[in-house]
């Protein structure tokens, strides 16, 4: 298990956001964190990224503990957080330039990433010139540029309308499957979690403990209209109702 979360606790004043969360995530898995608002999903993701410190418990990658950001974990924010004054090339290569990676290596990596996302020819465009889907791809490519072991996604489609959301889910699924990176994603969307994930961890309110670890054993690419998909959606929706009423 490359990523282990061991009995993590986090409070903000008297608000006990996480009272003791544990999980293990395998190499190459796509795992979604699903639960009511305020249950600790984003707090947990921020701690995996190293941006917040746990009060108790530990995070480890290949049994080596960590508590600060590093290149092993790439982060994609909800609004993509692209630099508007930088073109696609500079946005994607930002971390490599900061690490003073030689230019020939930067160019080789850029070529590889653009091909992965079918974005060849767009490297000189600025974010304002890109569609929402292309901005999403650039944000993911920037996070993948330094070859992280784990890609962290904080509601990457949270601000998108329903029809566009499904299109972007398709694009994100194709990109992540090609990259083969371990992914942890925060989402409020049941169907999104099923469509993209290998497992869904349902957190409950009242302390962010794990209500259920749901395996999504459906073939890819996934069909949202199948009975199996709808059955999983029904089950996760029932779990969300339980998670919301927990400790109320």
Distance CA 123, CA 97 (A): 16
The architecture of the domain spanning 3-72+150-245 is 3-Layer(aba) Sandwich (3.40)
What integer is the mean pLDDT of 231-242? 95
- Give me the pLDDT at residue 78, please: 77
Distance CA 184, CA 44 (A): 10
Percent of the chain with pLDDT over 70: 96
CA quadruple 168, 93, 29, 225: dihedral, nearest 10: 10
Is the pLDDT reported for residue 137 higher than 70? yes
Q: The tokens 């992914």 sit on which residue? A: 183
Which residues, at least 6 apart from 135, have a Cβ–Cβ distance to it below 8 Å?
80, 82, 127
Give backbone dihedrals phi and psi of 236, rounded to 5 degrees, phi first. Answer: -65, -35
Q: Higher pLDDT residue, 175 or 234?
A: 234
Among 31-45, 122-136, 150-164, 223-237, which range has the highest average pLDDT? 223-237
Is the pLDDT reported for residue 127 higher than 60? yes
Distance CA 182, CA 188 (A): 20
Which tokens go with 241?
């109702």
**Closest CA relative to residue 32, chosen from 159, 144, 182, 145:** 182
Q: What is the pLDDT of residues 52-66, one digit of tens each?
A: 999 999 999 999 999
Which residues, at least 6 apart from 95, have a Cβ–Cβ distance to it below 8 Å?
71, 142, 145, 146
- Give me the pLDDT at residue 18, please: 93
Distance CA 39, CA 178 (A): 31
- Give me the pLDDT at residue 217, please: 95
Is the pLDDT reported for residue 38 higher than 80? yes
Domain boundaries, the chain: 3-72+150-245, 82-147
- Give me the pLDDT at residue 170, please: 86
How far from chain centre, in Å, is Cα 40? 15
Q: The tokens 């304002």 sit on which residue? A: 128
**Residue-by-residue DSSP string for 117-132:** TT-TT-TT--GGGS-H
């Amino acid at each position: 298990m490359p990523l282990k979360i061991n009995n993590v606790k986090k409070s903000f004043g008297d608000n006990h956001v996480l009272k003791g969360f544990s999980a293990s995530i395998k190499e190459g898995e796509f795992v979604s964190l699903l639960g009511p608002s305020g249950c600790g999903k984003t707090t947990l993701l921020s701690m995996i990224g190293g941006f917040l410190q746990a009060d108790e418990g530990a995070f480890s990658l290949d049994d080596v503990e960590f508590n600060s950001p590093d290149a092993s974990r790439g982060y994609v924010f909800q609004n993509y957080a692209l630099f508007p004054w930088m073109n696609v090339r500079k946005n994607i290569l930002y971390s490599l330039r900061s690490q003073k990676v030689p230019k020939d290596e930067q160019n080789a990596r850029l070529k590889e990433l653009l091909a992965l996302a079918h974005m060849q020819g767009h490297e000189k465009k600025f974010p304002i010139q890109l569609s929402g889907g292309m901005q999403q791809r650039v944000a993911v490519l920037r996070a993948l540029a330094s070859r992280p072991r784990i890609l962290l996604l904080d509601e990457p489609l949270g601000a998108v309308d329903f029809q566009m959301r499904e299109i972007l889910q398709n694009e994100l699924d194709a990109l992540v499957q090609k990259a083969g990176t371990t992914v942890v994603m925060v989402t409020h969307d049941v169907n999104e979690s099923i469509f993209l994930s290998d497992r869904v961890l349902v957190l409950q309110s009242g302390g962010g403990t794990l209500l259920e670890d749901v395996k999504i054993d459906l073939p890819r690419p996934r069909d949202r209209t199948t009975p199996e998909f709808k059955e999983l959606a029904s089950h996760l929706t029932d779990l969300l109702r339980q998670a919301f009423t927990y400790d109320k």
